[in-house]
Structures are given as structure tokens and as C-alpha cells.
Amino acid sequence: SVGELENVYALSPMQKGMLFHSLMEPDSGAYFQQASFDQKGSFDVAIFRQSLDLLTQRHEALRTNFHRFETGHGQEPLQLVFRHKDSDLSFKDVRGMQPAEQQAYIQALKQEDQARGFDLGTDA
């Protein structure tokens, strides 16, 4: 869930450059990063989700979206920092699959995620 605004900032020159390139080439994947980890032992999804939510609450960069607003000088990109934003954790349990099936499923999830890309205005 997204709460009220905490702050609004102009973009730094580097952020403007990154936004420009992401808008000009939305399918390039230049600023899209993925990481995956193998987990052994027990894993409490609820505690992990709570940890991510606390991390998001602690760091405003994780509660920030970029939007373009119409001003008297054309469209101006701004950073909107939300007072509260939950982390976006997607969890899939693959323990019931055979190892080859697990690997194929994980690879397909990664490809779908990368094909979907990332919208700086909506986190989606």
C-alpha cells in the first residue's frame, strides 16, 4: 500500500540521464538488475516480508517513485517520496518440484520478470 507524500525532490543530473535513457529505450534492460539466491534450511516468509517492509520504511530511496509533471516550462520529472510503502515480495514455493523442473520454472520466472521490465513511476 502507498501512503501520503513525505517529500518531493528534483532529479539530480545523473537521475535525469538515467530516466531519459529508460524512457527512450524502455526494453533495453540497461538499469534492470536481478539477483537470485539458493536457500537451505527453514525460511519464514512472513518474517522475511516484515524485514523488507522495515528496510523500505527506513530508507526513503525505497519509497520513491519518479513522475513527470506539467509545469510552465514543459514536463518536469520529480521524485515523490511516500511516507509509507510496503515492499513488493513475490514468493514461490518450488520444493515439490524435481530439480530440473525447479530450474526451468525459476528460469521462466526470471525471463518473465525481465520482459515485464520496471516502471519508475509505479514500481511495476
- The C-alpha atoms of residue 34 and residue 28 are separated, in whole angstroms, by 14
Residue 26 sits in which domain range? 5-116
Domain presence at residue 122: no
- The C-alpha atoms of residue 91 and residue 52 are separated, in whole angstroms, by 13
The domain that holds 101 is classified in CATH as: 3.30.559.10
pLDDT tens column, 92-116 = 888 899 999 999 999 999 988 888 7
Domain presence at residue 16: yes
Q: What is the pTM of this model?
A: 0.70
pLDDT tens column, 48-105 = 999 999 999 999 989 988 888 776 777 788 889 999 888 888 888 888 999 999 999 9
In Å, the largest CA–CA distance within the chain is 59
| Domains of the chain: total | 1
